[in-house]
Structure 1
Amino acid sequence: MSSTEFADGKILASIQDGVGRVVFNQPEKRNAMSVNMWEGMGQALDIFAEDPGVRCVVLAGAGDKAFVSGADISQFEKVRNNADAQKEYDRLTSAGRLKLSTYEKPVIAQIRGFCMGGGLGIAMSCDIRIASEDSQFGIPAAKLSIAYGFDMVRALVDLVGPAHAHMILMTGERFDAREAERIGLVNRVVPAAALEETVAKLTATLAANAPLSLTTNKRTVKAVCADRADRDMAKIQAAMAACFDSNDYKEGRRAFMEKRKPVFTGT
């Protein structure tokens, strides 16, 4: 497994056994996201998107203290010191955010430690969130006199509902992994020692499943959550038809009849 560095080594990308892995590598700042880290994450995702051998992607933080603790506040005075600067910050980081939120392959957030603010936004943009028991969550916007964008708030409401979203946003307080699991913010909580193994088993399952089915079902779930006017039903129907016309569908039927594991190629 070789690793490629982006953002001056603060984003690490690697591929192994059909799984692309992005590591937020700024542990001295609890993996807080700088502007160039957003760009680096987008570059890593592009590599994985273009590689048909990559079946799913994992996002994780370096070390055991944080997934992503939020935006790099040390940059705020320079790049987010007023409303106009915030617009420019959004422009600089929007490409990476858009790539993650519209990514076609399955994305898993492997969460350990702090998952705060913009870091929680990253996790919410993933399809599945697995957290260690020692994880901490929160959106401290109210403690900084800032407001989060519509897309992030909508993602939060979609996951936990308006009542829990109000509590999270209005208090700005931290809450633990079990509370995150209770309100539906994460899929599963496991002991810290079992986090890597749990995610590895999950990615092995996804990597063995039919790629066309994974991407089509992901697209459909997103469409269900989107406004009716934003749903491209023709695209969804075409993707569904492609699944049924695929070589993989033939392989799946043959494997079932022959009582063996299917070997999918994404065609």
Structure 2
Amino acid sequence: MSNIEFAEGKILASISQGVGRVVFNQPEKRNAMSVNMWEGLGQALDLFAEDSAVRCVVLQGAGDKAFVSGADISQFEKVRNNADAQKEYDRLTSAGRLRLSTYEKPVIAQIRGFCMGGGLGIAMSTDIRIASEDSQFGIPAAKLSIAYGFDMVRALVDLVGPAHAHMILMTGERFDAREAERIGLVNRVVPADQLDATVETLTATLAGNAPLSLRTNKMTVKAVLQDAADRDMEAIRAAMAGCFDSADYKEGRRAFMEKRKPVFTGA
């Protein structure tokens, strides 16, 4: 399908071969996220959630300069100029953030160029992060006299541990893709000219796997990282039972015995 535009064309959505793709489309500002882009991201994710043919989602930035360079600082004077304005900014962007953080389908961040601040927060909300060698990372909060919310800091600590989180947050400095890979912030780093092909291979694998299994395993991994009191163990057990009772499980067993590739339907 051709691109569907959200947020006045600053969020582009498309679907091809079981993969939903979101492009952050503000290259003149290195794809910095404006308030309405957050709303558009949520709308794009809703579009993919309603389409059973979409097995996984890729997020990427337009052009080769940035994934997302952070929040759109040009809006700060108007929408984030003090603590009360920050609360309103959080309210306006919370729907998109929540939609991404609770999304059931696998989400991949295809990172090239700058992945900074809130952009890194977006990447950390995905399940798998693939970066090109020329990518740059950082959280410059200390250079702006701002602090990031608990959920983003927790995601950072979950990925890299407290020692690396302190270094990233306290220095506010940029670091390269190989360092991001070393500390566990990204899954894989590849040459820039191999980024598209690497992500395409990965999405083809995910699109061919059993949707119920992908959803349940994603749910379980998220639960492991939650406080015990916040885990919905009944939902996890029900999802696991659904996998074993599914037609896809029967298809998987048959395909294994018949030495062929399974055809999963998500049922």
**Match for residue 17 of structure 1?**
17
Segments of structure 1 that go 5 or more residues without pairing to the other structure are none
Match of 1:138 in 2: 138
The AA in structure 2 aligned to 1:220 is T
Alignment-derived partner of residue 191 in structure 1: 191
Count of matched residue positions in the alignment of Structure 1 and Structure 2: 267
- Structure 2 Cα separation of the partners of residues 10 and 229 of structure 1: 39
Identity of aligned residues (%): 89
Question: 1:126 deviation in Å?
Answer: 0.1
Alignment correspondent of 1:73: 73
Letter in 2 for 1:265: T
Aligned partner of residue 195 in structure 1, secondary structure = helix
- Equivalent residue number for residue 149 of structure 2: 149
**TM-score, with structure 2 as normaliser:** 1.00
Determine the C-alpha separation between the residues in 2 that align with 1:150 and 1:50: 30
Helix, strand or coil for the counterpart of 1:254?
helix
Q: Residues 41-52 of structure 1 correspond to what in structure 2 (within 5 A)?
A: 41-52=41-52
Matched residue SS, 1:145: coil
1:127 partner letter: D
Which whole-Å CA distance do the structure 2 matches of 1:237 and 1:209 have between them?
Answer: 20
CA distance in 1, matches of 2:188, 2:163: 21
Structure 1 counterpart of 2:94, one-letter code: S
Residue pairs, 1:206-221, within 5 angstroms:
206-221=206-221
Q: Extract structure 1 runs of 4+ deviating beyond 6 A.
A: none
Partner residue, 2:95: 95
Residue deviations 1:103-137 (CA, integer Å, cap 9, x gap): 00000000000000000000000000000000000
Aligned match of 1:230: 230
Q: Deviations over 1:75-109 (max 9, x none)?
A: 00000000000000000000000000000000000
Distance of 2:226 and 2:202 partners within structure 1: 26
Give the Cα separation in 2 of the matches to 1:228 and 1:247: 32
Q: Which residue of 1 aligns with 2:171?
A: 171
1:114 to 2:119 alignment: no
User: Residue 40 of structure 1 aligns with which residue?
Assistant: 40
Q: Which amino acid aligns with 2:253?
A: R
Aligned to 2:64: 64
- The yes-or-no answer on 1:53 pairing with 2:28 is no
Instruction: Deviation per CA, 1:182-206: give whole Å up to 9, x if none.
Output: 0000000000000000000000000
Distance of 1:260 and 1:129 partners within structure 2? 30
1:32: how far off?
A: 0.1
| CA shift for structure 1 position 143 | 0.1
For residues 239 and 195 of structure 1, the distance between their equivalents in structure 2, rounded to whole angstroms, comes to: 33
Distance in 2 of aligned mates of 1:228 and 1:117 = 29
Amino acid corresponding to residue 203 of structure 1 in structure 2: T
Task: Measure, in 2, the Cα distance between the counterparts of 1:147 and 1:55.
Answer: 35
The separation in 1 between residues aligned to 2:221 and 2:108, in whole angstroms, is 16
Aligned-partner SS, 1:14: strand
Counterpart-to-counterpart distance in 2, 1:230 and 1:130: 29
Say which SS state the counterpart of residue 58 (structure 1) adopts: strand
- Aligned to 2:151, the other structure's residue is in SS state helix
How far apart are residue 165 of structure 1 and its match? 0.1
Question: SS at the partner of 1:8?
Answer: helix
1:160, distance to aligned residue in structure 2 (A): 0.0
Q: Map 1:226-265; keep pairs closer than 5 Å.
A: 226-265=226-265
Per-residue deviation, 1:2: 1.2
Over residues 176-231 of structure 1, what are the superposed CA-to-partner deviations in whole Å (9 max), with x where a residue is unaligned? 00000000000000000000000000000000000000000000000000010100
| Cα distance between partner residues in 1 of 2:265 and 2:2 | 23
**What residue ranges of structure 2 are gaps of 5+ in the alignment?**
none
CA distance in 2, matches of 1:3, 1:24: 12
